[in-house]
């Protein structure tokens, strides 16, 4: 038992440190995730993913795509809202990834200079509470649509 005690202590400290990092990473989520306040002429919802994808990665894309399609069907027809899923490892996606400042898997809402990062919400709710992810997307997109009017 004595020889396992240091390993147990290290494990507990590591779990506590990781928990603290995750918990405090999104402090001030609204301001932390929103980079600017100027709207553009369209709203782009990007889901950047890797080539190899788990079930949750696929769920983030599917729930986000379905939410945008259901809630903003008229805006999509008018070209005001666009949903795009892009493989960030594909060379063809590099210009969009650079423009969106995407460096890995992420769910972003972009309009003009405004960039809202919903990655945490996407991975947190896509499988367990898809309606909450839909609500988060709506909460991000609706104010941008109002700014465009």
| pLDDT bucket at 148, cuts 50 / 70 / 90 | confident
DSSP-derived secondary structure letter, 101 = T
Task: Provide the whole-model pTM.
Answer: 0.73
- Between CA 78 and CA 74 the distance in angstroms is 6
Spans of all domains in the chain: 1-32, 34-148
As a CATH number, domain 34-148 is: 3.40.30.10
CA quadruple 96, 58, 66, 116: dihedral sign: negative
User: What per-residue confidence (pLDDT) applies to 127?
Assistant: 95
- The answer to whether the CB of 108 falls within 8 A of the CB of 48 is yes
User: What per-residue confidence (pLDDT) applies to 6?
Assistant: 63
- Count CA atoms closer than 13 A to 33's CA, side-chain side: 22
Q: What is the pLDDT of residues 77-117, one digit of tens each?
A: 999 999 999 999 999 999 999 999 998 999 999 999 999 99
């Amino acid at each position: 038992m004595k020889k396992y005690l240091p390993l147990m202590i290290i494990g507990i400290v590591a779990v506590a440190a990781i928990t603290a990092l995750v918990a405090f990473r999104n402090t001030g989520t609204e301001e932390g995730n929103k980079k600017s306040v100027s709207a553009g002429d369209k709203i782009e919802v990007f889901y950047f993913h890797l080539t190899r994808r788990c079930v949750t990665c696929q769920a983030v894309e599917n729930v986000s795509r379905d939410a945008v399609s259901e809630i903003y069907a008229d805006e999509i027809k008018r070209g005001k809202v666009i949903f795009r899923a892009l493989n960030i490892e594909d060379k063809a996606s590099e210009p969009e990834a650079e423009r969106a400042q995407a460096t890995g898997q992420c769910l972003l809402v972009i309009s003009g200079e405004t960039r809202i990062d919903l990655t945490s919400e996407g991975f947190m709710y896509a499988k367990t509470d898809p309606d909450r992810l839909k609500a988060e997307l709506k909460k991000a997109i609706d104010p941008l649509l109002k700014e465009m009017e």
